[in-house]
């Protein structure tokens, strides 16, 4: 069984201060995991983790990771803004985007971030609007099917990202002619895998490609970015990736391929948003409704607008009924939110202890791609985010949305001023 990083007693005190639903993050766990990752790749003197901001776009979380010497991977204008606000700059920022607006490239260049180009046509676009930097990276899509020991992991040929192999050679030559002095190579070929073999197999492919590109073009390749893809065990019976074993596998490939080619100074970069933060966040919700018809339903004050993954992907997230961890899981429930959509279910036919109205539920492993994917369907408001600090105290790191936030984008209109709407609501409540 998965064990929450917060006790029932702690949580009862927290909800006195912050109404549910809210996201709760474990600072101690985040820092410890960050240090494990760095330790696993300490053999590479240039190693750096570029945390994927899209996974958990919160400046307080990014500040914690900055203190652990992480960089950030940004994919949009606003993510670049957030990175700058937290204090990241220059080569602490990797900008990896696709279908990239001109203003995004301009801001990335102003921040002197490392730009990871997704398409060969972006070379001319970047040169025209912002100039070509001396350090640049290119994203590689090998096409075909990506498999490990005949087990298909993903199908790059269906992905919209990256250069083909032929385009890499052409692109590197173009960039050298435009003054690029240092190159990076990047690829992302699988998502959310706990297979220890993924990174080493990906590394071998990228290392071999880097050696070929160096020989073909003379490019000075100074870093190789293994990107993300290492996942987390969402189900209790699954085993997590062994990051130390992963690191050793990448090192073996490094020593067998890059070292003999005279490329032993190449730095290894990663972008492990889910692995770094996923297990160290949870969604806390209160049971507000029970319904018995053809099935038995438990209704929460959270919904798919707070956590989209189960509705969108039928993804499994473990659930703990706080205070009943030792009780028998002898009741079958669908655990739902209140959206006007039947896929608004956190669990279907899940065996859990007997649940009562007012119980606190923890939905595990939402530290990455949880809050970030939230939305406002049905006028639902996004929840607060709380940091459980190492000393046991809590800090509000994002307040919950209010109706004023929901109506704020109508502020251009005299007809729909929020103040008038609020006054109408107030009068209605009085009557």
Catalytically annotated residues: 340
Distance CA 205, CA 62 (A): 31
Alpha-carbon torsion 249, 253, 256, 262, what sign? negative
Helix (H) or strand (E) holding 216: helix 198-217
Using a 10 angstrom Cβ sphere, with 0-12 exposed, 13-18 middle and 19 or more buried, the burial of residue 342 is: exposed
Q: Contact at 8 Å (CB) between 279 and 29?
A: yes
Using a 10 angstrom Cβ sphere, with 0-12 exposed, 13-18 middle and 19 or more buried, the burial of residue 220 is: middle
Peptide linkage before 208 cis (omega within 30 of 0): no
Beta-ladder partners of 270? 49
Say if strands 267-270 and 221-225 run parallel, antiparallel, or are unpaired: parallel
Helix (H) or strand (E) holding 81: helix 77-86
> What dihedral angle (degrees, nearest 10) is formed by the CA atoms of 66, 71, 76, 82?
20
Backbone angles phi, psi at 357, to 5 degrees: -60, 135
Distance CA 354, CA 236 (A): 20
Return the structure tokens found at 117. Answer: 């180009």
Query: Taking the mean position of all CA atoms in its chain, how far away is CA 69?
Result: 18
Cβ neighbours for 359, distance < 8 A, ≥ 6 positions apart: 286, 287, 321, 322, 323, 324
Query: Count of alpha carbons within 13 Å of 24, Cβ hemisphere only?
Result: 28
């Amino acid at each position: 069984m998965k064990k929450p990083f917060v006790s029932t007693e702690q949580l009862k005190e927290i909800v006195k201060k912050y109404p549910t639903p809210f996201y709760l993050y474990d600072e101690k766990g985040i820092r410890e995991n960050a240090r494990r990752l760095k330790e696993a790749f300490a053999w590479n003197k240039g190693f750096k983790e570029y945390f994927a901001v899209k996974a958990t776009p919160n400046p307080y979380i990014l500040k914690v990771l900055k203190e652990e010497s992480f960089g950030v991977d940004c994919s949009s204008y606003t993510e670049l803004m957030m990175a700058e606000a937290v204090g990241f700059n220059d080569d602490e920022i990797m900008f990896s985007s696709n279908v990239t607006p001109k203003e995004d490239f301009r801001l990335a260049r102003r921040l002197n971030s490392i730009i990871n180009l997704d398409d060969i046509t972006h070379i001319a676009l970047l040169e025209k609007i912002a100039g070509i930097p001396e350090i640049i990276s290119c994203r590689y899509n090998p096409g075909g099917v990506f498999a490990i020991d005949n087990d298909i992991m993903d199908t790059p040929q269906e992905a919209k990202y990256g250069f083909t192999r032929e385009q890499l050679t052409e692109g590197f030559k173009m960039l050298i002619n435009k003054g690029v002095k240092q190159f990076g190579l990047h690829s992302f070929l699988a998502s959310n895998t706990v297979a220890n073999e993924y990174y080493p197999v990906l590394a071998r492919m990228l290392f071999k490609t880097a050696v070929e590109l160096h020989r073909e073009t003379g490019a000075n390749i100074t870093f190789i970015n293994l990107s993300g893809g290492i996942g987390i065990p969402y189900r209790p019976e699954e085993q997590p990736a062994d990051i130390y074993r992963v690191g050793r596998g990448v090192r073996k490939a490094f020593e067998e391929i890059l070292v003999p080619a005279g490329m032993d100074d190449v730095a290894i970069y990663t972008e492990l948003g889910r692995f770094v933060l996923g297990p160290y966040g949870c969604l806390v919700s209160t049971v507000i409704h029970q319904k018995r018809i053809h099935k038995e339903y438990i209704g929460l004050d959270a919904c798919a607008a707070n956590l989209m993954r189960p509705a969108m992907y039928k993804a499994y997230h473990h659930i703990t009924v706080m205070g009943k961890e030792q009780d028998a899981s002898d009741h079958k429930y669908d655990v739902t939110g209140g959206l006007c959509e039947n896929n608004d279910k956190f669990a279907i036919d899940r065996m859990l202890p007997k649940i009562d109205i007012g119980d606190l539920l923890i939905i595990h492993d939402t530290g990455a791609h949880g809050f970030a994917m939230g939305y406002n369907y049905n006028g639902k408001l996004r929840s607060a985010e709380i940091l459980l600090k190492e000393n046991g105290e809590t800090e509000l790191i994002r307040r919950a949305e209010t109706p004023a936030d929901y109506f704020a984008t109508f502020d251009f209109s005299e007809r729909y001023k929020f103040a008038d709407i609020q006054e109408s609501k107030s009068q209605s409540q009085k009557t």
